[in-house]
């Protein structure tokens, strides 16, 4: 799997904020915390999909500046799920919750 991390700086320390990765079809997907990015993140994710931008060029759609930076493309070869789980935690991306549906009761 190929991905790029987006970091922000606070008090001289860089922190993980979001990331983009290539899915199985080679499309770039932007992952972000809805608490931090909210609708802006959804808008950027839509722009990335519509533009069909590559992972190398995701910074052209989601710019960075003095307070944010895109890191170089990383290639993750082993235990991708554990890596993404740790990255989601670092970026405060909430885990999907299981939804339980009540069984329908016949009257």
The continuous run of DSSP H or E covering 51 comes out as helix 34-51
Assigned token pair, 71:
């890191």
Confidence of residue 104 (pLDDT cuts 50, 70, 90): low
100's CB contacts (< 8 A; 6+ apart) are none
How many of the other CB atoms lie within 10 Å of CB of 10? 9
Please compute the mean of the pLDDT values over residues 69-76 and round it to a whole number.
Answer: 95
Beta strand residue intervals within the chain, DSSP E? 2-10, 13-22, 28-32, 68-70, 74-75
pLDDT at 57: 95
pTM for the model stands at 0.82
29-45 residue pLDDT tens: 999 988 788 888 889 98
């Amino acid at each position: 799997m190929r991905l790029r991390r987006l970091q922000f700086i606070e008090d001289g320390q860089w922190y993980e904020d979001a990331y983009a990765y290539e899915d199985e079809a080679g499309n770039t997907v932007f992952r972000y915390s809805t608490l931090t990015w909210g609708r802006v993140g959804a808008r950027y994710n839509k722009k990335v999909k519509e533009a069909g931008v590559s992972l190398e060029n995701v910074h052209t759609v989601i710019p960075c500046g003095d307070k944010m930076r895109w890191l170089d493309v990383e290639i993750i070869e082993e235990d991708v799920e554990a890596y993404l789980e740790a990255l989601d935690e670092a970026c405060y991306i909430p885990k999907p919750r299981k939804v339980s549906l009540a069984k329908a009761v016949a009257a």
